Structure 1
Amino acid sequence: MDRKELLKSPEYWTASIQMELYRQIEAFMKENNFNKTQLAEYLGCSKGYVTQLLSGEFDHKLSKFIQLSLAIGKIPEFCFTDIDEYIQNETQSYKNTMTVSKEYMFSTFPLSNKIVEDAA
């Protein structure tokens, strides 16, 4: 599966959103010094449910996702972008990152210029 196919996959976006929710919950737990039991009490759910959240074994309805986000003090924002436009922007962003990285490498490590020139 290439990147373009991956970005058109519902599973990719579901996992991406789940991972972000996980990251936000982990940060919330650290900020509040909560363990799983305390988080479960705070959210009004079972410790088993918190374990599912933190292991990524969940697929919430949108309403539950929003409820959990708000419970930890976060507003979930969604936007809708044309797939082809997203892929084009991502590809351009990647190219820009690679150019900057290469420029950084050559300016930071002058010897790398000599190595590349010698290899050519």
Structure 2
Amino acid sequence: MKTREDLLKSPAYWLTDVQIEVFNLLNSYMEENNLTQKQVAEKLNVSPSYVSQILNGNFNFTISKLIELALLVGKAPIIKFETIEQILNAEAAQVQAESKSRKKKIASLNSPVSNISVS
């Protein structure tokens, strides 16, 4: 079985991650603006089949097309590079924070209720 670190070192993982992000971005934009694939294709100066490929997750775009797409939907294409260790540490910190939050909720649910007056 692959570890989380192995997965984060896989180019296929990151390609899929970006494809999902672009799909969500484009799909939301199309829904919010009531646009068809053909209309988006015209705005990007690409074929409707290219837009279809994006929405089907079956594409590998150029950086320039990624930038055009981001700007079309009103987003800035910010790319950030982190080490695998930074990602793993951030994920561990998030899990720990969520665990503390759940424990506090459980504790508050289990504590006796006071200061409640019945009329």
TM range (shorter): 0.7 to 0.9
RMSD over equivalenced CA pairs, Å: 1.7
Unaligned runs of 5+ in 2: 112-119
The number of residues matched between the two structures is 110
* Structure 1 position 73, deviation (Å): 1.8
Residue 69 of structure 1 pairs with residue 70 of structure 2: yes
* Structure 1 position 20, deviation (Å): 0.9
TM-score (norm 1): 0.80
Match of 1:24 in 2: 25
Residue 96 of structure 1 pairs with residue 91 of structure 2: no
Task: Report Cα offsets for 1:33-61 as digits up to 9, x if no partner.
Answer: 10222222222221111110101100112
Q: Percent identity of the aligned residues?
A: 35
Residue 12 of structure 1 pairs with residue 32 of structure 2: no
Residue 50 of structure 1 pairs with residue 40 of structure 2: no
Change (3 A) 1:35 1:105: farther
Unaligned runs of 5+ in 1: 112-120
CA distance in 2, matches of 1:6, 1:99: 27
Q: Whose helix proportion is higher, 1 or 2?
A: 1
